[in-house]
């Protein structure tokens, strides 16, 4: 599938990432049929305009379990059951933070409101976490973070990999914590109140809060 990945990007992101087009094509040439998410959804997180984006949630890499990843970080299709452990922890924090109970793992409702759900590494090999960490995705997502940091976008950074982007965002517009995975959720993710804190930032800047 030569030279198709770049075309998935919204025109805004094609402009921002124009200098990275060759790198994107190099990454594309190394992807095979066992990629997660499906090839057609790799850049789904970057299919909305920059202007419509008010929040970005950065994670690590896509779910490696076949059929789970669908292009939005932490999100899965409605049909996935049980939910991945990280997503269950996210929903537990959402419940204690905002008294909201969610059952569906599809976070498209957040994405449609302007919440970019993106990982540091945008693909992996099905069945293997971080298998594509060496392909150069970090250079792409660095550029994404750098651009978002120039706009009024709340950055929610979950985990060490996402934390590498902290310097791109203003201190009063970012929320950092441990990753919601079972290995780290009790080390600072639970109790971090990212959802209510995010909406407080948006409201204080006369922006529309997110319906989590």
- What residues are annotated to the active site? 61
Name 59's Cβ contacts closer than 8 Å, sequence gap at least 6: 73, 74, 117, 118, 119, 120, 158, 159, 161, 162, 179
Are the C-beta atoms of 207 and 110 separated by less than 8 Å? no
Scan for tokens 């409702």, then name that residue.
109
At a CB cut-off of 8 Å and minimum separation 6, what does 157 contact? 58, 163, 165, 166, 169, 174, 175, 176, 177
Rounded to an integer, what distance in angstroms lies between the CA atom of residue 207 and that of residue 121?
A: 29
**For tokens 């922890």, what's the residue?**
89
Nearest to 153 by CA among 137, 169, 139, 167: 169
| Paired sense of beta strands 35-36 and 124-125, if any | antiparallel
And the tokens for 54? 């008010």
Q: Are 160 and 138 in contact (CB under 8 A)?
A: no
């Amino acid at each position: 599938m030569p030279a198709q990945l770049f075309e998935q990007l919204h025109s805004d992101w094609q402009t921002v990432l124009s200098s990275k087009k060759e790198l994107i094509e190099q990454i594309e040439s190394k992807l095979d049929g066992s990629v997660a998410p499906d090839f057609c959804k790799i850049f789904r997180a970057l299919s909305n305009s920059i202007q419509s984006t008010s929040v970005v949630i950065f994670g690590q890499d896509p779910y490696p379990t076949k059929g789970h990843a669908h292009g939005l970080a932490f999100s899965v299709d409605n049909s996935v059951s049980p939910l991945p452990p990280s997503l269950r922890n996210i929903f537990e924090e959402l419940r204690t933070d905002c008294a909201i109970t969610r059952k569906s793992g599809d976070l498209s409702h957040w994405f449609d409101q302007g919440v970019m759900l993106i990982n540091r590494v945008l693909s992996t090999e099905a069945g293997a976490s971080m298998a594509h960490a060496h392909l150069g995705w970090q250079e792409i997502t660095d550029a994404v973070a750098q651009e978002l940091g120039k706009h009024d976008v709340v950055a929610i950074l979950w985990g060490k990999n996402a934390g590498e982007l902290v310097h791109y965002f203003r201190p009063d517009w970012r929320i950092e914590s441990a990753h919601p995975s079972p290995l780290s959720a009790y080390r600072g993710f639970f109790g971090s109140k990212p959802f209510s804190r995010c909406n407080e930032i948006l409201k204080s800047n006369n922006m529309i809060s997110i319906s989590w």
